[in-house]
Amino acid sequence: MKYWLSCVALCVTIIVVAALSVSPRAQQLDYGTLEKVFHEPVTTSATGQPQRASEAPVNMTIITQDDIRRSGATTIPDALQYVAGVDVRRYGIADEEVGIRGYNAAYNPRLLVLVNGRQVYSDDYGRVFWPTVPVQLAEIRQIEVIEGPNSALYGFNAVSGVINIITFDPLHDRINTATLQGGTQHYWGGSAVATGQIEDRAGLRISVGGYQAQDYGPANLSAVDALNRQNPLVGAFNVDGRLQIAPGVQAYIDGSMSDSRFAEMTFEGSFETNTTRANSIRAGLSADTAIGLLSFSAYRNGQELSIDSSAVSGFPSWVNENVYIVQASDLLKLGADHVVRIGLEYRNNAETSPGFIGGTIGYHVFAGSLMWNWQITPSVALTNAVRVDELQLRYSGNLAAGSGFTLGNYNSTNFAVPSFNSGLVVELTPEDTIRFMLARGVQVPSLFDFGVQIPFGAVGPVVIAGNPDVHPSTVDNIELDYDRALPAMGSELRFAVFAQRNRDLISQPFAVPPVLGPTGLPLLLTSNVGSSNAMGAQIGIKGHSDSGFRWNVSYAYVATTDNTVLNRGGLITSAINYANSAPRSVGIAGIGYTRDRWELDLMGRWQSSYQDFRASVSNPFLLEPVEVRNYLSLNARAAYRLTDNFTVHVSAQQFNASQLLQTAGPLVERRVLFGITAGF
């Protein structure tokens, strides 16, 4: 650690000295200015290099602030459901799971979610608590959705895809808005965003918001699950400040807090209510210099989680998690045709729980990455990126007797894994672009996978243990995309085909058949359980006209096959059943119209049937399948601008049906919401 802190201090010193001694190179990203120049969104989420979205060597969809507003969304997953290839499951008003290209389940660990590049998923299970993401919808500039692995930039868990939520820059964007909303299910919510600026030298944005509601009725749930669900109550505060120290030299600091209570479907197929308190603080510095864009940042995420569930009654059920991450990079332009990015990262994750962990489980990760973008010709670009992550596991506490592991087994675990991304982008004509991509992503076992320790009799007649010997799961992906601009229609056509192979799938200890441990007691152990393959295709068109109309239509197909040791012999023990647990076909369509003071939008999503799972009433260690038939959900929104500063709006979610079975959770109910927004 002492050596690492010395390296950090050296990086900061180099940035400051280089910034103050040379002229700026104007590589820092101003989203608003570049969007006006290129007439399209810009991003750094593909390679770490600022570039037009159309030039990114990945399959990326950008959801703009206009898209979010017009969708009538009250949560981020509400907006994500209209992206082809993205699967959103609703287990409650505040309980949503998001997956990409079929691989979705409760506690989904395969999706990396970030806010301005900062991790917001929880390392306990690798899951995302969507209600605790501490941003208000009005302060989001765009949501960048990458489909397919991108571990070479972000590291572990960016295997199915990456969602990077980009907020407005307080140095360049002035956002002052407040919204109040209410409606069915006794929903009441509101948010406010305010920005202060000192010319072009400093900016500060503050946001606050939250909501409460009565959750969907438990009519189709067991009595135990109905008892374990409480109504959602969500609140968050966020602050983001930026300072232009000198031309080309910028410092920033941001922090957030959230306090939430919500019911959640677990990977065991039952419900619990989580009360979470999360906080984060981050600081960073960047400088345009003759030796590139030098960047340094460090942040801490903290989370306290308390679980209310009859399944753990009388068992210590609180968890504390802390994540410390330090990052440094240099983005350097070499001549006219080459851009190189060198990155270093240190991660320190730890989780403490006297019940589930019996102490503290954590790991250190040291990572190095390299990206090279080569503009071979004005119309052909090749991007290659590689990253190596080295993980060192550590544990202190009381091991569950009967697992066969010792403290030495945990504290000697050390492995290094590589990942890569390669993308060739060819502009055939000004209207036609193709992308050919290869990628390898890595999913690291979660802290729970590594370190859970539940002794015999605590939650059942078995010993439950994490496994220090479990291997990371890897995903190999190959993809071909084609984009076609249709200027005469004001539209763009997009098409993609992909194939991927998942090796060493990781199963939770609850989800594998028990074996006899070394002491003769039944043992449930985190395990690598086999492989899975997927093939799919997507096609879509999106456009608008000068008369005020806009439209979009898309279709996504994915077929998955599994080769695992799970769910054999007629017993269902695991929700890792990807061949059946995702809809093969999803169709999305929308139409909208803006005229004078009116804004009208109609959106629909249809998906084919799939199989979800819930806990068996007779045996809590088994799952029973729930057949979710194909369904259509229609949403609509109408808004009227009363004055330049005030807009009233009404939205209806799933207005075509009073109730729909969308998951193994409660029936999703029709919702109608009314609101007023003030902007200054």
pTM for this model (two decimals):
0.92
Q: Of 235, 233, 213, which is closest to residue 671 (Cα–Cα)?
A: 213
| Other residues' Cβ atoms within 10 Å of the Cβ of residue 263 | 27
- Reported as half-sphere exposure (CB side, CA atoms, 13 A), residue 452 has a value of 27
pLDDT score at 310? 62
| Residues in the chain, pLDDT under 70 | 1-29, 34, 36, 38, 309-316, 569-571, 620-621
Q: Would you state the structure tokens that stand for residue 559, as one six-digit string?
A: 């077929």
Residue spans of alpha helices (H) in 333-425: 407-411
Please name the residues in contact with 1: beta carbons below 8 A apart, sequence gap of 6 or more. none
- CA gap 655, 27 in Å, rounded: 47
| Other residues' Cβ atoms within 10 Å of the Cβ of residue 653 | 24
pLDDT score at 458? 80
pLDDT score at 12? 40
Q: What is the DSSP letter of 589?
A: E
Residue spans of alpha helices (H) in 463-517: none
Domain residue extents for the chain? 2-679
Q: Judge contact between 288 and 25, C-beta under 8 A.
A: yes
| Other residues' Cβ atoms within 10 Å of the Cβ of residue 6 | 10
Q: Output the CA–CA distances (angstroms, integers) from residue 146 to 57, 110, 134, 345, 475, in the order listed.
A: 10, 13, 21, 21, 15
| Other residues' Cβ atoms within 10 Å of the Cβ of residue 241 | 18
Phi, psi of 381 (to 5 degrees): -135, 140
Burial 52-71 (b: 16+ CB within 10 A, else e): ebbbbbbbbbbbebebbbbb
Give the CATH number of domain 2-679; options: 3.40.1190.20, 2.40.110.10, 2.40.170.20, 3.20.20.140: 2.40.170.20
Q: Would you state the structure tokens that stand for residue 589, as one six-digit string?
A: 């369509």
Please name the residues in contact with 670: beta carbons below 8 A apart, sequence gap of 6 or more. 184, 652, 653, 654, 655, 657, 658, 659
- CA gap 488, 466 in Å, rounded: 58
3-state secondary structure of 27: coil
Q: Would you state the structure tokens that stand for residue 499, as one six-digit string?
A: 């194939």
pLDDT score at 18? 39
Degrees, nearest 5: CA angle 544-545-550: 35
- Reported as half-sphere exposure (CB side, CA atoms, 13 A), residue 263 has a value of 24
Q: Judge contact between 362 and 387, C-beta under 8 A.
A: no
- CA gap 33, 171 in Å, rounded: 12
